[in-house]
Amino acid sequence: MPASQDIQKRKNHYIASFGINFLTHPKQYKHWAIKIEEDIAWLGLNVSESDTLGDGYQLKLNSYDLGVDIELNDAIQRIRFEHPSIRCVIIHSLNERVFCAGANIKMLGYSNHAHKVNFCKFTNETRNAIENATKNSSQTYLCAIQGSCAGGGYELALACDEIYLADDGSSAVSLPELPLLAVLPGTGGLTRLVDKRLVRKDRADFFCTTEEGIKGKRALEWGLVDRIIPASSFAEQVMSRAKEVAAGKNPESAAVGIQFTPLNRSFKENSIDYSHLSITIDRTLSSATFTLHSNHTDLPHDLAGIMSQGSDFWPLLIARELEDAILHMRFNEDQIGTWIFKTSGESTDVLKAESLLKNHESAPVIKEIVLYLERTLKRIDVSARSLIAAIEPGSCFCGILAELALACDQSYMLLGQFDEDERPEAFITLTDFNFGSLRMVNELTRLESRFYGQKELLTAVEESTLNRLDPKTAEELGLVTFTPDDIDWEDELRIAIESRAVFSPDALSGMEANLRFVGPETIESKIFSRLSAWQNWIFQRPNAVGEDGALSLYGSGERPKFQKGRV
């Protein structure tokens, strides 16, 4: 059988057998090990070759598929919440021969386009979480490299604050995606080289177009690593530096953590139910309705009560449930192109929860909960889905939950009431959380993005903080797109959803990504806009994934045949 036909056969089998669960626990890890030594954590990578998410490949040379990164994401979250006394995290390899060979090439070759793009997006979010922990949680990440560190392995290192390379004549760093696979480094490598590590563009160009990688003194001189260390004293010097980093941090007075308990989650054919979130899927309209419920149980009265509730504390639980739902829908329901956001419950419950967060905002665990909410909302912003808010009587688009409406591409708010519905007219309430605590990847709030360059409008909105904004007022302030009455409500919402279902998904994704992120660029926004757009395109080009493309033929013994036209 020709190599190209065998590849397609394996690809079809891989796609058919693929199923992804984003919930895990350190006791279930197959690829990572966490070792805690006082205020230092060692996060060791030792990939189990046969424990793959799909068929047809093995995870050799510490290469990874999505399953490896799901564990890494879980580990980063748990270190922040369960081990807040940790001041330094060292990412290293438990494989003596290699640090990490990056994303598994066979896996990429066998997976479909949507999975490749979503895989890159998730790994980007995970690496951003490392930088976020260093910036906001006093948990500095160091990377200790012995052996080959290639592609996504080096991109993992780039997410760390400092990189140490063994000076042993063989350990090297490389980004060989372009010469080997005809694709780009998919998890921020290009951006972090020049924007974060300030590598000169000519050196970065050479580095990204050579397969062999760069070792020792040149890697240090070019700024690709921060220190080269003889192999004979590598572990000792890394540990010594970790102790210096940890000692330079301000230890928090109450470094007591919250243990993550398993989420309460159930699946049916067209619905998913969590404790405070439900999702219903309409496959005819390629849409899903997310309904978030405000707290219906007694909230604690103080920080001790929050710690007692632990991961069941409503703001933390809703962040965890929403994050899991977003990831599930991205990967396992890629045909569902429109997400409709609704809320139900009492706004007073949301205000009470926010008051607890505000009153104890200096406590490490409260800071982590707010940061988790921020990261989860960012996942919505960068999801390639059309987002619509439906604000009806009985909803609670207040504060944290109001961010859902502000994140949407269009928002509809019912003017008046439905017949025979005794619930009061819908309203929106903005709080302090809408004006600074929950920022997008461009480092603006969603309100700042909405009213970019229009300070007078933003000021008028800010003056309405804590007011119950009825549909007319919300429309006048520019907070909603349309306010149909009960006669037109169903038709207008249906037309909006139906129109999304008939447009080109590719064109919609491009339009939405361009419109959502105004103003300044950051490393995060570049990765999710510029990089994602280019990689999305390259992953569909025959030079990469065609029958004779580099990614498809890698390891087959056949050389790729490139179409030479520049597009």
Sequence spans of domains, the chain? 20-253, 266-516
Same fold, 20-253 and 266-516: yes
Please tell me the least confidently modeled range out of 111-120, 248-257, 447-456, 553-562: 248-257
Q: Are 238 and 91 in contact (CB under 8 A)?
A: no
Quick one: DSSP state of residue 43? E
- Give the Cα separation of 447 and 565 in Å (integer): 43
pLDDT digits (tens, 9 = 90+) for 40-65: 999 999 999 999 998 889 999 999 99
b/e string for 445-466 if b means 16 or more Cβ within 10 A?
bbbbbbbeeeeeebeebeebee
Which position has the token pair 């982590």? 368
Strands (E), 414-532: 428-429
pLDDT of residue 191: 94
| Residue 140 pLDDT exceeds 90 | yes
Task: Report how far apart, in Å, the C-alpha atoms of 410 and of each of 378, 405, 496, 521 are.
Answer: 17, 8, 9, 23
> What is the dotted CATH code of the domain comprising 266-516?
3.90.226.10
- Give the Cα separation of 481 and 478 in Å (integer): 7
| Residue 242 pLDDT exceeds 90 | yes
Mean pLDDT of the chain: 92
pLDDT of residue 464: 95
pLDDT of residue 171: 95
Q: Which whole number is the average pLDDT over 482-491?
A: 95
pLDDT of residue 552: 87
Q: Which whole number is the average pLDDT over 63-71?
A: 96
* CATH for the 20-253 domain, from 3.90.226.10, 3.40.50.720, 3.30.2040.10, 3.40.605.10: 3.90.226.10
Say if residue 102 is exposed, middle or buried (CB neighbours under 10 Å; 0-12, 13-18, 19+): buried
Q: Are 147 and 96 in contact (CB under 8 A)?
A: yes
What Rg value do the Cα atoms of the chain yield, rounded? Answer: 24
pLDDT band at residue 533 using 50, 70 and 90 as cut-offs: confident
Structure-token pair, residue 222: 């070019």
- Give the Cα separation of 120 and 331 in Å (integer): 12
Q: Which whole number is the average pLDDT over 128-155?
A: 95
Kindly compute the dihedral angle of the four CA atoms of residues 95, 101, 102, 103, in this order, to the nearest 10 degrees: -100
Q: Are 102 and 213 in contact (CB under 8 A)?
A: no
pLDDT digits (tens, 9 = 90+) for 82-131: 999 999 999 999 998 899 999 999 999 888 888 999 999 999 999 999 99
